[in-house]
Structure 1
Amino acid sequence: MSQRFSYTMDGSSTEFGSGLRSPKEEFAHLLRLLREGKRSTFIVGPIPDGVHFVDHIQYGDRSAYLQCAGTAETMTIEWHRVDDDGQDRHYIVGRGGDHSGEPDVEIPFFNGTRTATVYPDEVFALDEATDIFFSCYETETLPPSYATRLFDLAWPKPQS
Structure 2
Amino acid sequence: MGPFKVADMSGLDIAWKMRQQTADTRHLRRYVGIPDLLCEAGRFGRKTGRGYYRYDDEAMQPASDPEVAQLIERYREEHAIMPKAFSEQEIQQRAELALINEALLLLEEGVCQRPADIDIALVNGYGFPRWRGGPLFIARQMSDRQLESALGKLADVSGKGHQRTHRLAF
Instruction: Classify the TM-score, shorter chain.
Output: under 0.3
Larger % of helix: which? 2
Normalised to the residue count of structure 1, the TM-score between the two structures is: 0.27
Larger % of strand: which? 1
Query: Which of the pair has the greater relative contact order for Cα pairs under 8 Å at 6+ separation?
Result: 1
Who wins on radius of gyration, i.e. which is larger?
A: 2
Normalised to the residue count of structure 2, the TM-score between the two structures is: 0.26
